[in-house]
Amino acid sequence: MSGTTFHQRVFHLLLAIVSVALGWILLPFFGAVFWGTILAILFQPMQRYLAARFGRRRNLAALLTLGGTIVIVILPLSFIAATMVQEIGLAYAEIKSAQPDMTTYFQKAIHALPSTVQTLLERFGLTDVAGIQKRLTDGAATISQFVGAQALSIGQNTFDFVISFGVMLYLVFFLLRDGPEIGGRIRRALPLDTLHKQHLIAKFTTVVRATVKGNIAVAAVQGFLGGVIFMLLGIKGALLWGALMAFLSLLPAIGAALVWAPAAAYFLLTGDIWKGVILIVFCVVVIGLVDNILRPILVGKDVKMPDWCVLLSTLGGMAIFGINGFVIGPLIAALFMASWDLYTQDEEVSANDDADSGTAEE
């Protein structure tokens, strides 16, 4: 009996070692593996539909689904990324050329404030227009230099990027084709009760769908609408601001307002009252309604987490994992909540069973 236990412990240790070793080997391709898995989960319904239409020709169905993934996701993102690089340079030049006007408007705005507010601003050094202008200029220059350095880094590491991109597409194909078999093996290998497996796997797939397909779709619509209204109001770099608005829309509560609110304030301070009012009304009513209408349809109420939890998990995930964190953070938070819900349910069932047995003994 002790020998069997010893052999089991050695085997479990071996499992842990080879699992950690495999993770270590795949770590350089973490982004490729991660997004390959996410894309395979998102497009699995399309794969199942095509596989049903083509009979048992799963290779053809997976190949067509992979083509759909490239057309629907990868090509638009590549176009937006390439265009944003140009827009960032134009926006920086526009901000730099508009600095004298901004200084004048800022001084007028400060003098229009009540004396008590002006005194409070002076205490924090917020009335030093020249100093604020210098900090803004330095900040804009730093952002421009950072973007340029990142673009140069991407150019220098083109080979690594191409390899990772190829690995991702290769992985997506096989995960689409063999997804059900791989999922079945993972379910059988998990050392959990059947009920716990089903609940956690369902929560995992639901959160992935909600976070990626639902939140990104809502963010894309909000960013598109924001870019359109910016373009109609004559704001330069509408694509850049729309993309930034879409990115920030992933954060609840604050989101897109971090972009359109300063723009609206600028219009009001510069005397373009109607433009400021139009921008505020459009963003509050139209863009705000998008979140309230589309998110329940695309995400569903079954995975709804508190906004503060989504915000903190998204920010924390992105701080640790970079851009991947906007999926990993909420996913970890959702699995944390689901695991503790299961634990609480088990404890309640155990307590009820103990109470029933105690009552029977009496």
Question: What does the block give as tokens for 199?
Answer: 């609940």
* DSSP notation for 311-357: HHHHHHHHHHHGGGHHHHHHHHHHHHHHHHHHHHHHHHHHHHHHHHH
Q: How far is CA 184 from CA 144, 167, 190, 306, in A?
A: 48, 23, 10, 32
pTM: predicted TM-score of the whole model, two decimal places: 0.66
Looking at residue 21, its pLDDT comes to 92
Looking at residue 354, its pLDDT comes to 60
* DSSP notation for 153-172: HHHHTHHHHHHHHHHHHHHH
- Rounded CA-CA distance 274/171 in Å is 52
Low-confidence ranges of the chain (pLDDT < 50): 1, 99-100
* Whether the Cβ atoms of residue 102 and residue 132 lie closer than 8 Å to each other: no
Q: Roughly what angle, to the nearest 10 degrees, separates helices 215-232 and 257-269?
A: 20
Looking at residue 240, its pLDDT comes to 75
Question: What does the block give as tokens for 163?
Answer: 């390899």
Helix segments in 157-234, DSSP class H:
158-189, 194-208, 215-232
Question: What does the block give as tokens for 194?
Answer: 């059947």
- What is the per-residue pLDDT across 15-60, written as a single tens digit (0 to 9) for each? 889 989 988 998 888 888 888 888 888 888 888 888 888 877 888 8
> Would you say how long the chain is, in residues?
362
Nearest to 70 by CA among 165, 158, 163: 165
- Rounded CA-CA distance 214/33 in Å is 21
Looking at residue 129, its pLDDT comes to 58
Looking at residue 50, its pLDDT comes to 87
- Rounded CA-CA distance 53/179 in Å is 17
Task: Report which DSSP code applies to 213.
Answer: I
What count of other Cβ atoms lies within 10 Å of the Cβ of residue 250?
22
* Whether the Cβ atoms of residue 80 and residue 94 lie closer than 8 Å to each other: no
Looking at residue 127, its pLDDT comes to 58
Question: What does the block give as tokens for 180?
Answer: 């059900």
- Rounded CA-CA distance 7/2 in Å is 9
Looking at residue 311, its pLDDT comes to 73
What count of other Cβ atoms lies within 10 Å of the Cβ of residue 17?
10
* DSSP notation for 249-315: TTSSSSTTHHHHHHHHHHHHHTT-HHHHHHHHHIIIIIIHHHHHHHHHHHT-STT---HHHHHHHHH
